[in-house]
């Protein structure tokens, strides 16, 4: 435990910052914990920080201490509706990097308009849990490399589930795929905890604009509807026009937004 205190000249109150463990800080006011800070690496290698503090002085001192001790760049994600938290990060020198819209996606085929959508000729949809793991990993690696070579994988919604280095398929049973006899052309991942989340939908660059993504979405939403779920949710970066159009085209409604900030 590193208990070396960090103090600053931000104010005259008695808040003292203590690093209590790797990636963890406490703000103390007369031995009372009035704020906590955390830092952790996301699977894409970026360092994300978060702060939960009782008042602005504790927040500011935690942000100052963490920024001084951690290597740049630092990232954080906030609910855009939480203006107080956003203002705190802006005071700490963070700037808005991107916005992600959260969509509520209906599953009823007559609402989505996907009831008669089929994959293109020669392509079949393999349901979740039935995909060949080798081919699944190959298409996942291919689309990631294509995104990285174009806009960069960091432009995609942040993935928070840890996995071994180089292994980007956490649970193969969560993926449905678009397949030809010798390879997979695209994939969709749906994870259900309290509600279904469409965490990824992607198609190989050379196979796009053929209706494959729409067919994958039709399959996934239809499966959820038959399982009793009235809606799913998804996050789409504001600048991702094709993804926004795909979800808007099935009646998805924006219900909130998150901001990713960087220092």
Predicted confidence at residue 28, as pLDDT, reads: 93
Q: How much is the mean pLDDT over the chain?
A: 88
> Is the pLDDT at 157 greater than 70, yes or no?
no
- For the CA atoms of 190, 192, 196, 202, the dihedral, rounded to the nearest 10 degrees, stands at -10
Dist. CA 263–CA 46, nearest whole Å: 12
Domains observed in the chain? 5-97 (3.40.630.30), 101-257 (3.40.630.30)
Inter-helix orientation angle 241-248/212-226, to 10°:
40
Dist. CA 260–CA 158, nearest whole Å: 9
pLDDT digits (tens, 9 = 90+) for 91-133: 999 999 999 999 999 999 999 999 999 999 999 999 999 999 9
> Is the pLDDT at 196 greater than 80, yes or no?
yes
Dist. CA 102–CA 116, nearest whole Å: 26
pLDDT digits (tens, 9 = 90+) for 197-253: 998 899 999 999 999 999 999 999 999 999 999 999 999 988 888 889 999 999 999
Query: What three-state secondary structure class fits 87?
Result: helix
10 and 61 Cβ atoms separated by less than 8 Å:
yes
């Amino acid at each position: 435990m590193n208990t070396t205190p960090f103090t600053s000249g931000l104010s005259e109150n008695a808040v003292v910052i203590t690093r209590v463990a790797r990636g963890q800080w406490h703000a103390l006011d007369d031995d009372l914990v009035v704020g906590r800070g955390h830092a952790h690496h996301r699977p894409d290698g970026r360092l994300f920080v978060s702060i939960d503090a009782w008042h602005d002085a504790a927040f500011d001192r935690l942000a100052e201490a963490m920024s001084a001790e951690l290597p740049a760049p630092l990232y954080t994600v906030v609910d855009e509706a939480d203006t107080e938290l956003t203002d705190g990060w802006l005071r700490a020198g963070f700037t808005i990097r991107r916005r992600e819209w959260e969509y509520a996606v209906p599953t009823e085929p007559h609402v989505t308009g996907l009831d008669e959508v089929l994959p293109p000729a020669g392509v079949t949809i393999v349901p979740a849990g039935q995909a060949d793991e080798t081919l699944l990993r190959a298409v996942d690696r291919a689309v990631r490399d294509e995104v990285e070579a174009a806009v960069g994988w960091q432009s995609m919604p942040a993935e928070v589930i840890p996995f071994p280095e180089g292994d980007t398929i956490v649970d193969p049973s969560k993926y449905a795929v678009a397949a030809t006899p010798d390879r997979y052309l695209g994939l969709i991942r749906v994870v259900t905890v309290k509600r279904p989340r469409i965490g990824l939908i992607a198609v190989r660059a050379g196979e796009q604009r053929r209706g494959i993504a729409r067919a994958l979405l039709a399959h996934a939403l239809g499966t959820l509807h038959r399982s009793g779920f009235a809606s799913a949710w998804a996050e789409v970066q504001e600048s991702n026009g094709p993804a926004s159009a795909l979800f808007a085209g099935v009646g998805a409604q924006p219900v909130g937004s998150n901001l990713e900030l960087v220092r």
